[in-house]
Structure 1
């Protein structure tokens, strides 16, 4: 399946992000979109900080960003918006994010069946090789028109 140019893929983020009230509230935005690795930016915001004296983003916000990005990476691989639910999500918070800095999240859908999609990714500042958090997830399609990319 031809998925289009990187610019066309990036435009797919707009309707996807607007479907999710959580993604809208976080201000998530596409940075780089391809079936091999989708990247989004989570802008630093004082609302996402547990203790404003430290300026460190709360771990639950990072988990939510990765969950959202995981779903988006599945849609990019499918080439369409697909209803799904998160069945299993594991996020390992490896270190505190740098205070008052935006975070990037990267994700890839690495395997898919007719009913399930498997994803992995990371939250980081400068490189996915130096992650703040890593995660894996299992998503289930919620209609019978799912399946592998056609």
Structure 2
């Protein structure tokens, strides 16, 4: 079965429980670039007094966006654990506004995949950089990916109950 990059990304995200809880969704996946949305909600608030987004929410968004881009572009079904993640917080995320992560695979080596990601709020001229990261993912080979996981990605309609 041949899946589009976006479908692979969507099905990968559908299997991850934290993505379901946070409402993460794939907006687009073209070439080596993935755009993922984290909707603003009480679940991502770090300061309940002013609604500021918790830094851990941004970390989760960037790590998941980069990892999903890696999974989507590699041939076969190869899970790649995060090896390194270096983040820069540029400014506090504004309360009430969704976050968009734009992750790019910048180099695929034999044992490591290198990525970068930027998180924005707003669109077009109003697009505002909130955080960015550089991340590396360890290639473990498709043979190390559990057959059950691959089956979930390949099936026609992954269900919400399939999360791991």
Indicate whether the TM-score tops 0.5: yes
Find the residue that maps to 2:30 and give its secondary structure. Answer: coil
Q: For the Cα contact (< 8 Å) 1:109–1:118, is it kept in 2?
A: yes
Instruction: Determine if the alignment matches structure 1 residue 32 to structure 2 residue 32.
Output: no
Which of these residues, 131, 140, 143, is aligned with residue 141 of structure 2? 143
- Aligned residue for 1:107? 103
- Aligned residue for 2:17? 21
- Report 1:26-105 matches (<5 A): 26-105=22-101
Which of these residues, 100, 116, 121, is aligned with residue 117 of structure 2? 121
Give the structure with the higher percent helix: 2
Measure, in 2, the Cα distance between the counterparts of 1:134 and 1:59. Answer: 12
Measure, in 2, the Cα distance between the counterparts of 1:46 and 1:143. Answer: 38
CA deviation after TM superposition for structure 1 residue 137, in Å: 0.4
Q: For the Cα contact (< 8 Å) 2:6–2:28, is it kept in 1?
A: yes
Task: Could you tell me which runs of 5 or more consecutive residues in structure 1 were left unpaired when the two chains were aligned.
Answer: none
**Rg larger in 1 or in 2?**
2
Find the residue that maps to 2:52 and give its secondary structure. Answer: coil
Measure, in 2, the Cα distance between the counterparts of 1:138 and 1:37. Answer: 15
Count of residue pairs brought into register by the alignment? 141
CA deviation after TM superposition for structure 1 residue 145, in Å: 5.3
Measure, in 2, the Cα distance between the counterparts of 1:49 and 1:9. Answer: 31
Q: For the Cα contact (< 8 Å) 1:29–1:40, is it kept in 2?
A: yes
Find the residue that maps to 2:81 and give its secondary structure. Answer: strand
Task: Select between 33-42 and 9-18 the one with higher mean Cα deviation.
Answer: 9-18
Q: Deviations over 1:108-148 (max 9, x none)?
A: 110011111000011111359731000000110123659xx
Cα RMSD after superposing both structures = 2.2
Task: Could you tell me which runs of 5 or more consecutive residues in structure 2 were left unpaired when the two chains were aligned.
Answer: 145-164
Find the residue that maps to 1:137 and give its secondary structure. Answer: strand
